[in-house]
Structure 1
Amino acid sequence: MKIIAHRGLSSRFPELTEAAFRAALELPIHGIETDVRLTKCGEVVNIHDPIVDRVSDGRGRVSRLDLETLLDLNFGSKEAPQKVLTLNNLLDILEDYPDKHLYIETKHPMRYAIMLEEEVTKILKYRGLMQDPHIHIISFALPAISRMERLAPEIDRIHLRRSWERWGNPKDLRCGSPTGLGLSIERAKMDPKLIGIKGMPTYLFTVDKQKDMLWARDQGVDMLATNYPDHAAELLKAQSKPAMYANAHGKEE
């Protein structure tokens, strides 16, 4: 099972900052997950919320702020300040970790709609990453998945299903030909048959309890997003160790 650091090592460092990403990338895990939005000036930045109030010392909506203004804000702590990262900044960091994977979640709804996927694609194209298997696009928005199929058909596309879809979309109708499907740990435990449905790999979010990590592994989950990737790596490594002793019938003793 592939462990993915949700917003970096967000349990120990401010989410989506260089400190959180670098700490996660040093772990023996598969990769990291980020959330991206567009600024007023068209920059793709790593910010989860539509407003910056929770994650910085500033205020305002990301789509109404320019990059220069965002760079003046502190996204860390007073003791360890952190600047906002653009997607290009994060891709620069990843050059130091060529074996790690990046899961880019495009956040919707937003005022610029289609422009977000267009700008992400421009960045990937400029950097020669349009066919890189280490890059994955994920989104809760079906139109975003459809746009990425058109803009970058070689890039892995994972549709994250919302909890309400078990009522609003019971037949799991999709557009954009996703290459993988996302599922919350809560919905997965309610309906385990959704894991691996239609032969597609499953991206499970956001799994922070150890018992749920082991349950996900036993259910055959492909990708596990967690705020505790360090704990997940240790737990799954420990649980995968072969038995030290076995009797003649192959049972552990």
Structure 2
Amino acid sequence: MKIVAHRGYSGKYPELTHRAFDEALKLPIDGVECDVRLTRDGRLVVQHDKTIDRTSDGTGLVAKMDFEELRQFNVGTEDDPQRILLLDELLELMQDYPDKELYLETKHPSRFGPEVEEQVAVRLRYAGLHEDPRINLISFSHAAMRRFARLLPALDCYYLVDPRDARWNRNHIFFSKPAGVGPSITQAKADPVLVGLRGMNTYMWTVDDPDDMIWCRDNGVDVMATNLPELALETLR
């Protein structure tokens, strides 16, 4: 089972920062996970929330700010200030760790619609990673899955299962035809059929309890995302 650091080593360092990714990549784990959003001027930044209020000393919507505006805010700590990352910068860091994988999530809904996936494809091509098997694409959006299949056909896509899906899609039929399925640990324990559904690989999020880590290993999970990668290493050792 692969261990992936969710938003970098976010259990110890500010999430999605250069520090969080660098510290995670130094560990003997398999990779890291990130989220990306588009700024007003069309730059792809590594950011989970639609605003920067929770993760920085600033405030505002990412989609309504230019990259240089966002770059002014501190997304780290007072003692270790960090600036919001471009996806390009994270991809450059990944080049220093050729044995590590990246699980890249596009956030939706977005005012930019398909442009999010289009820009991901452009940046991956620019970095020479558009056919690299270490790059995996993940999203809660079936539309994003279909765009990825068209724009980046060589890469594996994981559909992240929204808990609301069970209300209308009890049979877990995914017309976007992802290569893998990504339920939460809570969903998977309540509905174990999601693990290995129809022969697909399983990406499990976000697993921080040691008992759940062992459950993932013993139930055939392929990829486990955790905020606590060192704890996962100790638990599974």
- TM-score tier by shorter-chain length is over 0.9
* CA deviation profile, 1:10-61 (whole Å, cap 9, x unmatched): 0110000000000000111010000000000000000000000000111110
Are residues 1:124 and 2:138 paired?
Answer: no
* CA deviation profile, 1:109-136 (whole Å, cap 9, x unmatched): 0100100000000011112111100000
Query: 1:80 & 1:130 partners in 2: Cα distance?
Result: 33
| One-letter identity of the residue aligned with 1:225 | A
Structure 1 segment 106-121 matched on structure 2, within 5 A:
106-121=106-121
In structure 2, list runs of 5 or more residues that go unmatched. none
| One-letter identity of the residue aligned with 2:56 | S
Query: 1:8 & 1:224 partners in 2: Cα distance?
Result: 13
| One-letter identity of the residue aligned with 1:103 | Y
TM-score with structure 1 length normalisation?
Answer: 0.92
RMSD: 0.7
In structure 1, list runs of 5 or more residues that go unmatched. 238-253
Structure 1 segment 1-253 matched on structure 2, within 5 A:
1-237=1-237
Q: How many residues align?
A: 237
Give the match for residue 250 of structure 1.
Answer: none
SS in 2 for 1:235: helix
> 1:235 Cα deviation (Å)?
1.2
* CA deviation profile, 1:192-229 (whole Å, cap 9, x unmatched): 12210100000010000000000110001000000001
Query: 2:13 & 2:159 partners in 1: Cα distance?
Result: 27
* CA deviation profile, 1:151-202 (whole Å, cap 9, x unmatched): 1111110000011111122121223321110011011111112210100000
SS in 2 for 1:33: strand
Give the match for residue 249 of structure 1.
Answer: none
TM-score with structure 2 length normalisation?
Answer: 0.98
Report runs of 4+ in structure 1 exceeding 6 Å deviation: none
Is the radius of gyration larger for structure 1 or structure 2? 1
